[in-house]
Amino acid sequence: MTGAGSVAGRTGHARRLAVTGLVATIAAMAVTTAAAALARAAGADFEVPDGGETIPLGGVTVVTGFFSFVGVGIAAALLRWSARPAARFTWTAVTLTAVSLIPPVVSGANTATVATLIGLHLVAAAVMIPALARSLRARTG
């Protein structure tokens, strides 16, 4: 596409990506918060020795939402500037997810908390990455 059609098409694709991202973010926030509540009920204390803080359920929700929106921003940038946004997004998101597993491992928290935090990262990624990648493929394929 060229001219006004490409701008209108790009705007429509970006709008649909934003809606998909918002829905996926809300889903990721709900699922991770529910999983954290279940893990807490099962005995994970979410205490991180560095600072002696206990991660509240609301903290799980907020951090999931923040980083999910970061992922939507990355997807939007790739939609705008990449010839292969879905593939680039998937590679980038999987890499960032792998990097996000390092802090729980080095936190010094007990095994239950570390395993739960790793699981929560993977749950959020399992919601966000396929939804955004599918949206990018549908818009550019």
As for how many domains the chain has, the answer is 1
pLDDT attached to residue 37:
98
pLDDT attached to residue 3:
45
pLDDT attached to residue 139:
58
User: In 7-138, where do the E strands start and end?
Assistant: 47-48, 53-54
Q: Are 48 and 113 contacting, i.e. CB atoms less than 8 angstroms apart?
A: yes
Structural domain for 72, as ranges: 3-140
pLDDT attached to residue 138:
77
Contacts of 88 (CB under 8 A, 6+ apart): 78, 82
Q: Where is pLDDT greater, at 5 or 104?
A: 104
| Gap between the Cα atoms of 66 and 17, Å rounded | 17
pLDDT attached to residue 53:
86
Percent with pLDDT over 90 in the chain: 84
Query: CA nearest 78: which of 69, 90, 68?
Result: 90
Q: Kindly report the backbone phi and psi dihedral angles of residue 48, in degrees, each rounded to the nearest multiple of 5, phi listed first.
A: -105, 115
pLDDT attached to residue 12:
84
> What is the pTM assigned to this prediction?
0.89
pLDDT attached to residue 1:
43
| Gap between the Cα atoms of 104 and 34, Å rounded | 19
> 36-84 pLDDT, tens per residue?
999 999 999 999 887 778 999 999 999 999 999 999 999 999 999 999 9
